[in-house]
């Protein structure tokens, strides 16, 4: 499998104003990526994590990236059970070999469009993460 990892230079601290999901297969991920590009979304702004490199970039404890990232992760886990669950779920999915796709989607219209594409291609654990809450999605209607 190709290395699809694409994320900010240091690590993925917290996905703010993004809708994300995890794909079990490379085929589903690639089809979703193609559909999103065809709908005019800029792939260069996506975060993509998978494999050991993806887990390292996400760094669920923050320990590998220094003192402040470690404090940041602890704060997120203390502040919100939903954020803690999101961190734990993403870590588990990456460890199981899934590919994580995160798309900027501050506007509701964009979130709806991306949600439908993710659903059409069997995305799992679809959620929108804002600065202070995590909204979990069910199957798109």
pLDDT tens digit at each of 141 positions of the chain: 788 999 887 767 678 899 999 999 999 999 999 999 999 999 999 999 999 888 888 877 777 778 877 787 777 667 766 667 777 888 899 999 999 999 999 999 999 999 999 999 999 999 998 877 778 887 655
Cα separation of 5 and 3, whole Å?
Answer: 6
pTM of the model: 0.86
Determine contact, residues 106/16, Cβ cutoff 8 Å: no
Q: Within 10 Å of residue 89's Cβ, how many Cβ atoms?
A: 16
Cα separation of 2 and 50, whole Å?
Answer: 10
Amino acid 121: pLDDT: 97
Cα separation of 136 and 83, whole Å?
Answer: 11
Q: Quickly list H helices, the chain.
A: 26-38, 51-58, 67-79, 81-95, 108-120
């Amino acid at each position: 499998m190709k290395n699809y990892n694409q994320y900010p230079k240091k690590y993925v601290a917290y996905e703010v104003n993004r809708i994300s999901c995890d794909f079990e297969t490379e085929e589903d991920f690639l089809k979703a990526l193609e559909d999103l590009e065809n709908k005019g979304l800029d792939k260069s702004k996506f975060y993509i994590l998978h494999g050991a490199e993806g887990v390292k970039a996400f760094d669920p404890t923050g320990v590998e990236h220094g003192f402040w990232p470690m404090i940041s992760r602890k704060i997120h886990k203390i502040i919100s059970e939903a954020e803690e669950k999101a961190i734990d779920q993403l870590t588990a999915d990456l460890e199981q070999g899934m590919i994580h796709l995160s798309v900027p989607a501050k506007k509701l219209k964009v979130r709806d469009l991306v949600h439908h594409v993710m659903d059409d291609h069997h995305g799992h654990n679809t959620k929108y993460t804002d600065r202070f809450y995590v909204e979990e999605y069910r199957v798109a209607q």
